[in-house]
Structures are given as C-alpha cells and as structure tokens.
Amino acid sequence: MLIPYGFFQRSLTTSLGNIVYYTADGFPWNNWNKGAEADSETLVFLHALGGGSSAYEWSKVYPAFAADYRILAPDLIGWGRSDRPSRDYQVRDYMQTILEFVKQTCDRPVTAIASGLTAAFTIRAAVEQPDLFKSLILVTAAGLNDFEQNYTENFFAQLVKTPILDRLLYSTGIATHFGIRSFLEQRQFASRDRVYPELVEAYLQSAQQPNAEYAALSFVRGDLSFDLSHYISQLTVPTALIYGQDTEYTSLELGKRFAQINPTAIRTLEYLGDARLTPHLELPAIAIGLIRKILPQLSS
C-alpha cells in the first residue's frame, strides 16, 4: 500500500487494537515552516469501507494540503495495515475508534473528511461529541438503510450470511485481482479507463491481509448499515456534502433529502456527475479544488 512522498507511517492503540495512520513528517513538509504544525488546523481523512479499502483511497488528495494543514489519514480498524480483530464488527466499533483516534492525536477540534459509510459513522460521532469537530466534509455519505431502504435484502448481503460460504466468497470473489478490478470498473468508478494498476494493487494488498475478511464481510452482510436520516437532525457541526454519479445506495437526491432535514448544519451540497462512489480517487484534482473551495465556507 503506497505511502505518498513526504509522509510516514505512525500508530496508536485504541480499545479495539492498533491503528496505523499516515502523516507528513519528511521532506519537503518538515522544513516549510518550523513550528507550524503546532499552530496548524488538522484535517483527518477517513476512508470508506469495502473489499480492500484503506487510507490509500485519499492518498492522491491529502498531500495537496500538507503545506497548510496537519494531515492525519488512518487505516480504520479491520482495514489496511491496522489491526484486524477476528470479530463481527458493529457501528459502535467504528464510531468509538474514530472518537478515540481524534482524542489521541488532536488537542483542538478537527475537520474530518470522510466517505461512504464511514461518512455516516462520522456524523454519528460528531453528534455524540461535537466538541471534537470543527467541520465535516462528507463524500457520498450514506447509512445504506436510509429512508426505509433495506440494504440487507440485496443478493450479496443474503449470500454472505451463510457460514463457510461467506469466507469462500471473500477469498475467491472479492480478494482477487479480478474481483477488485471488476468492482472498481463496474461500480466504484464512473469510467473504467481511470482504473490503473497501482490502484488495483493497493486495494488487493489491503484485501489480502490476514483476517481482512472479518470487517469486509460485516460490511457486505449489512451489520454496519443504519438509517442516517435518524441522526442528521441532531448534527450541529458545519457540514458539506459531496455526491458522485448516482449508484444503488447513494445519489444527489439522497444528499438533498439529508440537507432538507438540517439546513443549519449542512451548509453546502456539491455534485460531481462524472464520478461515482469515490470521486476523490477517480478525479483527485477536482476533489482537491472542491475541498479548497469548501473549507473557508465552513469556517465563516
């Protein structure tokens, strides 16, 4: 799994295990302004969940902010280089580790930039402890059971509820070069031409880590799904929503419904029609520009 130039791997211990994270700690960032890190705002980049997910998802974006911000990009528990306990993961596990990570690494409120189901966890974390967050920038946020949808009714969620078959499906259908590339081309990206070898390899390395199947199968089964609309009204942290091209469980219309519930907290809603689930990985230059536009809007 690629670590961008000028960034290094660090780790800390949470109640669920060791979390690996990446931060700027080398040339050219270490010399740009001595002592600047102590005064800089912190951006925490949180990746989505799915076979092979890791902090690599944001690795084409966060280096662009390292000259002006302190950057933290963790591999969440169960993913990437972080610990992968053998357990059935629940929503509370991810809420708790996000909160623990922020508390251990930051002494002031942070801006969390998160995607997918992790964006939904981040909203719930911010509702529970709003003092830890300055603002949220959330990409394709969805709880997957939103507005009476039932994610667990889909074919794959039903299929992986069968013991033994679930791990067989993971090892032969998900954690393979063909499985990773097919998902990226057919579901995650709007254009298959943007799927390149380094990207496939990064996802494959994460997917093939020992015990990586536990978190992935908890996600596919629907153990981590919930109705995010039940929590949006409680959000007080200034928030921006970004959506890519419509997919089965996320869409601009979903974002509009979330924004209508709480227009006070949700300050802006953006749409990228030429990208799907991870616009920041598919069109990183566009995502960087959009985040730069949004940050001062949320601070004003």
pLDDT digits (tens, 9 = 90+) for 18-27: 999 999 987 7
Q: How confident is the model at residue 2 (pLDDT cuts 50, 70, 90)?
A: confident
Say if residues 270 and 240 touch (Cβ distance below 8 Å): yes
Q: What is the mean pLDDT of the chain?
A: 92
User: Hey, what CATH class is 7-299 in?
Assistant: alpha beta
Nearest to 52, CA basis, from 184, 194, 169: 184
Burial class (CB in 10 A: 0-12, 13-18, 19+), 159: middle
Q: How confident is the model at residue 30 (pLDDT cuts 50, 70, 90)?
A: low
Q: What is the mean pLDDT of residues 182-192?
A: 94
**3-class DSSP state of 5:** coil
Q: What is the mean pLDDT of residues 56-83?
A: 96
pLDDT of the residue at 265:
98
Higher pLDDT, 84 or 169: 84
Q: How confident is the model at residue 168 (pLDDT cuts 50, 70, 90)?
A: confident
Is 112 a residue whose pLDDT tops 90? yes
Say if residues 225 and 143 touch (Cβ distance below 8 Å): yes
Q: What is the mean pLDDT of residues 92-111?
A: 97
Neighbours of 297 (CB within 10 A): 12
Is 165 a residue whose pLDDT tops 80? no
pLDDT of the residue at 23:
95
Q: What is the mean pLDDT of residues 214-229?
A: 94
Q: Tell me the one-letter amino acid at 31.
A: N
Is 157 a residue whose pLDDT tops 70? no
DSSP class of 131: G
Is 31 a residue whose pLDDT tops 70? no
* Beta-bridge mates of residue 243: 271
Q: Are strands 70-74 and 110-115 parallel, antiparallel or unpaired?
A: unpaired
pLDDT of the residue at 49:
96
Side by side, the strands of the sheet bearing 266-271 are 7-14, 17-24, 70-74, 42-46, 110-115, 133-139, 239-243, 266-271
Q: How confident is the model at residue 248 (pLDDT cuts 50, 70, 90)?
A: confident
Report residue 289: phi and psi, to 5°.
Answer: -60, -40
Is 160 a residue whose pLDDT tops 80? no
d(CA 187, CA 248): 9
In the chain, domain spans: 7-299
d(CA 53, CA 205): 10
Higher pLDDT, 47 or 163: 47
Is 9 a residue whose pLDDT tops 90? yes
- Digit-coded pLDDT (tens) for 115-152: 999 999 999 999 999 999 999 999 999 999 999 888 87
Upstream peptide bond of 109 is cis (omega within 30 degrees of 0) = no
Question: What are the helix and strand counts (H, E) for the chain?
Answer: 12, 8
pLDDT of the residue at 32:
47
Q: How confident is the model at residue 156 (pLDDT cuts 50, 70, 90)?
A: low
